[in-house]
Structure 1
Amino acid sequence: MTHQAIRVLLVDDQPLLRMGLATILSTEPGVEVVGEASNGREALAQVEALDPDVVCMDVQMPHMDGIEATKALTASGARAAVLILTTFDRDDFLFETLNAGASGFLLKTAGPEQLIHAIQVLAGGESLLAPEVTGRVLDRMFTEPADEPKAASQPVPELPVPLTRREDEILAMLVTGKSNADIAEELFVGPATVKTHVSNILMKLDVKDRIHAVIWAYEHGYVDAQG
């Protein structure tokens, strides 16, 4: 392994599953498994000791589950990105982990290529959701049950550095689930230009990835306010 390898911590209460994940990741030259943990408490200690780039986190574990561990990592300011790996395709797990600060969500039925790709994406500062759940995230954010009143948005805060008109436009596109490539094509600009704008948006909103930029926009009614 070189010093440029992506450092990964595996967190799951099943030793055989951790072993299987480690075996899969050992086939990728750019990824190094630097440690393992069997519950959330151990994960917090290992993150502090090992400083991984990505934490592959199970949800249901003894002592401290993956949701609480993700909240604690986010609150601590740890730089590691959390990739949730779970057997359960449940909306409550999905939304609780995203709200806790996770940057990715995959089902354990994902193939080795999907897992490695997700780790690479998160290590690069981006976010990723399993294809099976992306649509549900957007549906949950922008539709409300007919028999329930729409929750009031938080006031749009005055940002220390306001978004530019172009950044407003790109944030609105992120909310609809468009990729950088989609945005570049629609705006007739290069992907690198879009990536720069997205990075500026994340910095100004003080969020770590595009998923949480979308959550921020939804919670504050920002896109509606700008539209």
Structure 2
Amino acid sequence: MSRAARAARVLIADDEPLVRAGVRAVLSTDPGLEVVAEAADGHQAVELTRGHRPDVAVLDIRMPGLDGLGAAAEIRRTVPGTGIVMLTTFGEDEYILRALGDGAAGFLVKSGPPEELVAGVRAVADGAAYLSPKVAARVIAHLADRGSGARAERRAAARDRVAALTPREREVLAFLGAGLTNGQIARRLGLVEGTVKAHVSSVLARLAVDNRAAAAVVAHEAGIVVPPSGPGQ
């Protein structure tokens, strides 16, 4: 059965049972998502991911034993078809940056609204990236080293990198920053999805980033993010 014909299968990993129950309850409100497994630590998350092959693994960054970052790296290595969503709290900027480098595609704040959790998991299940606006702001602030001069330099550098893209690539990057999938971008731009996929690959290569989430950070830094247009985008 194709991914389009079934609900996205999700694994939840958090050492707090109450958090797992809350995430499951929120995701269960969307018929397009199905929680197939729960893990209480990173090692269990890796093993269950290997066994269940979910479309998305939602991982808490801080877990006993193998933490969420270690689990994410191992899942990316052994089950590359599973997208990674990291659950974060404020004050974990360094962890978020490491997760970006390890290929995580989604970053959500535990204290965020329930609809953001659903949107983020669905986006990653559809092959897109999703940065909670709060997470994006924290990442950008951290990268700026909390100095106004450094922040200005990073924004200028991001604008220079974006200026090297073609006009169409800049449009695609702006939608990547908003967390849109290839299909959603195609509808917004009146293109076929295959063409958008080619543009995304070109954007990643020209920005010298490894994944859509890292490209989204560049879009946020450059100030070109296009706000979503509502349900279905």
TM-score by shorter chain over 0.5: yes
What CA deviation, in whole Å up to 9, does each residue of 1:65-90 have, x standing for no partner?
Answer: 00111111222252111111123342
Letter of the aligned partner of 1:16 in structure 2?
A: L
Contact preservation (8 Å) 1:11, 1:39: yes
What count of residue pairs does the alignment treat as equivalent?
197
Give the whole-Å Cα distance in 1 for the aligned partners of 2:218 and 2:112: 28
Structure 2 match to 1:8? 10
For structure 1, which segment, 21-30 or 48-57, has the greater mean C-alpha deviation from structure 2 after superposition?
A: 21-30
Give the whole-Å Cα distance in 2 for the aligned partners of 1:195 and 1:135: 29
Structure 2 match to 1:117? 119
Structure 2: give runs of 5+ residues left out of the alignment.
154-164, 220-233
2:191 partner SS: helix
Q: Compute the TM-score of the two structures, normalised by the length of structure 1.
A: 0.69
Distance 1:192 1:202, change over 3 A: same
Letter of the aligned partner of 1:119 in structure 2?
A: V
Give the whole-Å Cα distance in 1 for the aligned partners of 2:29 and 2:217: 35
Q: Percent identity?
A: 31
Distance 1:113 1:214, change over 3 A: closer
Distance 1:200 1:213, change over 3 A: farther
What CA deviation, in whole Å up to 9, does each residue of 1:8-57 have, x standing for no partner?
Answer: 10000111211222122222211111001111111111111101111110
Q: Compute the TM-score of the two structures, normalised by the length of structure 2.
A: 0.68
Matched, 1:193 2:195: no
Distance 1:89 1:143, change over 3 A: closer
Deviation for aligned residue 1:110: 1.4
Structure 2 match to 1:59? 61
- Rg (Cα) greater in structure: 1
Give the whole-Å Cα distance in 2 for the aligned partners of 1:74 and 1:104: 13
Give the whole-Å Cα distance in 1 for the aligned partners of 2:199 and 2:16: 39
Distance 1:101 1:136, change over 3 A: same
2:108 partner SS: strand
Contact preservation (8 Å) 1:40, 1:65: yes
Distance 1:45 1:167, change over 3 A: farther
Matches within 5 A, 1:1-227: 4-138=6-140, 165=166, 169-170=170-171, 177=177, 190-193=188-191, 196-203=194-201, 209-213=211-215
Contact preservation (8 Å) 1:89, 1:107: no
Structure 1: give runs of 5+ residues left out of the alignment.
151-163, 218-227
Structure 1 match to 2:231? none
Deviation for aligned residue 1:194: 8.4
Contact preservation (8 Å) 2:61, 2:69: yes
The CA RMSD over aligned residues, in Å, is 3.8
Structure 2 match to 1:159? none
Contact preservation (8 Å) 1:56, 1:83: yes
Structure 1 match to 2:156? none
Distance 1:179 1:56, change over 3 A: closer
